[in-house]
Structure 1
Amino acid sequence: MANRRQFLAGLLATGLAPVPTWADAGNPAYLSAARLPDGRYVLTGLDREGVERFRIPLPDRGHAAAAHPTQPIAVAFARRPGRFALVLDCRDGAVLAQLHSPEGRHFYGHGSFDASGDYLFTTENDYDAGEGRIGVWDAAKGYARIGEFASGGVGPHDIKLLPDGGFVVANGGIDTHPDSGRLKLNLSTMQPNLAYLSATGALLENVAPAHHHASTRHLAVRADGLVAVGMQWQGDVASAPALVALHRRGAPLQMLGDASALDGYVGSIAFSGDGAQVAITSPRGGTLEVFDATSGALVQRLAEADICGVAAADHGLLATTGLGHVIRADTATQTLQSASLAYDNHLVAIAPRG
């Protein structure tokens, strides 16, 4: 197999072989980490109807994945605070590279390619300094780490590419350390923010939620640059404010809804396929909420046990649950598939819509 891959890599380098596309991996539309009934972990590829197209073993629990924009390559990230990420060929499951966070760093479970797919950007914690970093990895050099820049805050969790080639980062404000596992070390002084960075890592703008216990965690970006952010409340759940917001640069956060059905926790966020709606999930609250992206009005609240993954679909939204269900959810709901596995937190659209 190694000789075959080396041979094909040589052909690609000389331009004699076609560059593989996602069609060569069965035309999946989504990626999701999952747990099998026997406790093993996998990365799955699902088509537009939620039908499984491939399943690749993972060494431990995965969180989110980054999909290459054109080639059938996925980067599977360990759950925070993780030290590994695997670059996977989704045609056959081959591990193309294994990324390890540098000394003094750990991953936060998310990453993003740039528009060309030439570079991968990863959210990381400089845990001795207690500061966020964005790692930069060069795909052409076998995903060698070639640099890093500041995330604009503490505890960068999610990162998304913006239409102008820059990035938006959800700095959750929470300091962690591998020696303390998932213990949150600075809840009394945490300072979350939404940071906008240029393509070269320069801080352009940041905006903080009104409450410092509203940890900014997950992001979605519409084609016109509108950003949606889902938060997780780090105080008394009974006093949690609204935990969903829309944002444009230069403006304040536009808060949506309330936290009454969320148990203080937003697990994922996504725009609908046409960009007209934004949806959030709460596995703790067993709830999916859909808002009108123009008015901010709540248009649907769906009760569904252990729902968390959500992503744009051709005509709305698709969601996944820890019970193995794939659900079409917008102004109507329909269970499309049921599988004997537990989907993890995020459903990642391979070709972003909306």
Structure 2
Amino acid sequence: METRRGFLAGVLASGLVPMPTWADVGDPTFLSAARTPDGGYILAGLDARGSIRFRIPLPARGHAAAAHPQRPEAVAFARRPGTFAVVLDCRNGDVLARLDSPQGRHFYGHGTYDQTGEVLFTTENDFEAGRGCIGVWDARRGYRRIAELPSQGVGPHDLRLMPDGTLVVANGGIDTHPASGREKLNIPDMRPNLSYLDVDGQVLDQVEPSAHLASVRHLSVRNDGLVGIGMQWQGEVAAAPALVATHRRGEVLREMGDGRRLDGYVGSVAFSGDSGRLAVTSPRAGVVQVFDLDGDGTEHCFEDKDVCGVAGTTRGLICTNGQGGLFSIANAAAHLARHDLAWDNHLVSLA
């Protein structure tokens, strides 16, 4: 009789072992970092109803995560200016790899895989040179760092993969240095931009907001290549201009809304599942602004204390707040669930 070991060896050799998928951890729809009541930190998988499908511990406070497009694997980034990120097996919480930024660099809390899941891109600060860069990591070989690209700006925060496989980067324009903590060193002459890059780091397009104190921070990308943008104002709130925009390569930036209603601060941005609306959150103002993109740009405002995470669903949008709450937005806001957690800034879609 064939031994179990021999059988497994034969299965492995034949390539018949099924690869793990997100279905193995309850088929979650979203990821979010959170703080637990005892002061610990976790990464959680959530479904569209707000139920938790899995939760695994994090070594420190998380910011955003990058979800592998096929495997139940996620990269959890430390809050900026963190120098490490961990690659987690979401089935059991095992640390598959640790990403340490090279000397003279720190992460900005965001990253994205390419379409195959074989390459990970991370936003980083070259703080001695005062320039932004994109780290390139080989996910097939233990997340070995294989290259570095210029972000084509200062202070890259968010980056996303475009439908054609290129990258779009939110260069916030703010120069920082670990020796100065989170102090902003160049506000008078900051130059934020939105940059489109090919995988070799060459600029395909670049635009700047109309006000140079509007730091380009967070992004969402629609299936047709339209980019949603959330900005943070670095001046007096009473003077805050529009801090929400959409952009398509080769066209002008379309700015909308009133930054004063957001208290000068956008925490997250997302397109609705039907792509017809764009939502931004402001935990400082305790509001969600939703813009109708198919019509005349009508703005709807929903109030919720400490709201920040937002993502699209098939029926509309889902939001999280710092009190553990989740609510959906279709034609109105509706409570979904509440957990004994403090959700962090971002709700990451696995779609």
Cα distance in 2 for residues equivalent to 1:138 and 1:294: 39
Corresponding residue for 1:168? 168
- C-alpha displacement of 1:12: 6.3
Cα distance in 1 for residues equivalent to 2:112 and 2:210: 27
- C-alpha displacement of 1:182: 1.1
- Map residues 306-317 of structure 1 onto 2, 5 A cutoff: 306-317=306-317
- C-alpha displacement of 1:10: 11
Q: Which runs of 5+ in 2 are unaligned?
A: 1-7
Cα distance in 2 for residues equivalent to 1:30 and 1:65: 10
Cα distance in 2 for residues equivalent to 1:316 and 1:215: 27
- C-alpha displacement of 1:203: 1.1
- C-alpha displacement of 1:261: 1.6
The total of aligned residue pairs comes to 344
> What secondary structure sits across from 1:74 in the alignment?
strand
Preserved contact between residue 154 and residue 192 of structure 1 (Cα < 8 Å): yes
Corresponding residue for 2:235? 235
Is the alpha carbon distance of 1:9 and 1:198 closer, same or farther for their aligned partners in structure 2, counting shifts above 3 Å?
farther
Cα distance in 2 for residues equivalent to 1:110 and 1:80: 9
Corresponding residue for 1:292? 292
Preserved contact between residue 113 and residue 120 of structure 2 (Cα < 8 Å): yes
Corresponding residue for 1:343? 343
Compare 160-169 and 11-20 and name the one that shifted more. 11-20
Cα distance in 2 for residues equivalent to 1:288 and 1:54: 27
Preserved contact between residue 289 and residue 298 of structure 1 (Cα < 8 Å): no
Is the alpha carbon distance of 1:338 and 1:146 closer, same or farther for their aligned partners in structure 2, counting shifts above 3 Å?
same
Runs (4+) off by over 3 Å: 8-14
Preserved contact between residue 125 and residue 133 of structure 1 (Cα < 8 Å): yes
- Map residues 99-178 of structure 1 onto 2, 5 A cutoff: 99-178=99-178
2:268 is the counterpart of 1:268: yes
Cα distance in 2 for residues equivalent to 1:278 and 1:10: 51
Cα distance in 2 for residues equivalent to 1:90 and 1:10: 27
Corresponding residue for 1:5? none
Is the alpha carbon distance of 1:200 and 1:306 closer, same or farther for their aligned partners in structure 2, counting shifts above 3 Å?
same
Preserved contact between residue 214 and residue 233 of structure 1 (Cα < 8 Å): yes
Per-residue CA distance 1:168-212 (angstroms, 9 max, x = gap): 000000011112111111111110000000132211111000111
Corresponding residue for 2:72? 72
Compare 165-174 and 192-201 and name the one that shifted more. 192-201
How high is the TM-score relative to the length of structure 2? 0.95
Preserved contact between residue 237 and residue 260 of structure 2 (Cα < 8 Å): no
Corresponding residue for 1:50? 50
- C-alpha displacement of 1:319: 0.4
Corresponding residue for 1:91? 91
> What secondary structure sits across from 2:262 in the alignment?
coil
Preserved contact between residue 124 and residue 133 of structure 1 (Cα < 8 Å): yes
TM-align CA RMSD: 1.5
Cα distance in 2 for residues equivalent to 1:16 and 1:147: 33
Corresponding residue for 1:333? 333
Per-residue CA distance 1:203-228 (angstroms, 9 max, x = gap): 11110001110000000000000001
Is the alpha carbon distance of 1:259 and 1:20 closer, same or farther for their aligned partners in structure 2, counting shifts above 3 Å?
same
Corresponding residue for 2:26? 26
Cα distance in 1 for residues equivalent to 2:259 and 2:11: 54
Cα distance in 1 for residues equivalent to 2:92 and 2:14: 23
Cα distance in 2 for residues equivalent to 1:201 and 1:269: 25
Cα distance in 2 for residues equivalent to 1:222 and 1:324: 28
Q: Which runs of 5+ in 1 are unaligned?
A: 1-7
Preserved contact between residue 300 and residue 330 of structure 1 (Cα < 8 Å): no
How high is the TM-score relative to the length of structure 1? 0.95
Is the alpha carbon distance of 1:202 and 1:10 closer, same or farther for their aligned partners in structure 2, counting shifts above 3 Å?
farther
Corresponding residue for 2:3? none
* Counterpart code for 2:57: P
Is the alpha carbon distance of 1:14 and 1:213 closer, same or farther for their aligned partners in structure 2, counting shifts above 3 Å?
farther
Which of the pair has more CA radius of gyration?
2
Is the alpha carbon distance of 1:144 and 1:263 closer, same or farther for their aligned partners in structure 2, counting shifts above 3 Å?
same
> What secondary structure sits across from 1:188 in the alignment?
helix
> What secondary structure sits across from 2:238 in the alignment?
helix
* Counterpart code for 1:261: R
> What secondary structure sits across from 2:317 in the alignment?
strand
> What secondary structure sits across from 1:261 in the alignment?
helix
- C-alpha displacement of 1:9: 12
* Counterpart code for 2:314: D
Preserved contact between residue 245 and residue 254 of structure 1 (Cα < 8 Å): yes
Compare 254-263 and 76-85 and name the one that shifted more. 254-263
Cα distance in 2 for residues equivalent to 1:136 and 1:294: 36
Cα distance in 1 for residues equivalent to 2:68 and 2:195: 23
> What secondary structure sits across from 1:260 in the alignment?
helix
Cα distance in 2 for residues equivalent to 1:266 and 1:10: 54
Per-residue CA distance 1:240-287 (angstroms, 9 max, x = gap): 000000001111110111113211000000000010000000000000
